[in-house]
Amino acid sequence: MKRKPGFPFYHLNGTAPQTHSELIDRAYGKLVEAYSAMAELAPNMRDYYPLPSAREEFDLALQNHERRMNALKSLMAELEELAEYAALSIERRGTPYEN
């Protein structure tokens, strides 16, 4: 298995890939909760219509909301990649790493 730069090098004196996998799963679960909570914070036009620039304000709020949601999606994707790497390491435990 080829180790990606910046990914852990699992060995006997370090964190076990199973432990790392459990930590990743816990963090991922928290991100899923955050994503769900953030989705509920989506802007609503009713909160902007009294303003003279309601359409522009609402559009900006939507852009900011999408940026925040995309940031969470990006973090989730990174953790998915780490989880896959840890799972492969667990599966191939004892197999030497390629550099």
> Any idea where the domains of the chain sit in the sequence?
17-90
Residue 97: pLDDT above 70?
A: no
Q: What is the per-residue pLDDT for 4? A: 83
Please provide the average confidence, as pLDDT, over all residues in the chain: 91
**Residue 99 — pLDDT band, cuts 50, 70, 90?**
very low
- Which has more pLDDT, 9 or 23? 23
Q: Mapping DSSP to helix (H, G, I), strand (E, B) and coil, where does residue 2 land? A: strand
Q: What is the per-residue pLDDT for 60? A: 98
Task: State mean pLDDT over 77-94.
Answer: 89
Q: What is the per-residue pLDDT for 36? A: 98
Alpha-carbon distance of 78 to 57, in angstroms, equals 32
- Which has more pLDDT, 13 or 3? 13
Burial annotation 8-22 (CB, 10 A radius, 16+ → b, else e): eebeeeeeebeebbe
What's the angle, vertex CA 72, arms to CA 56 and CA 42, rounded to 5?
A: 35
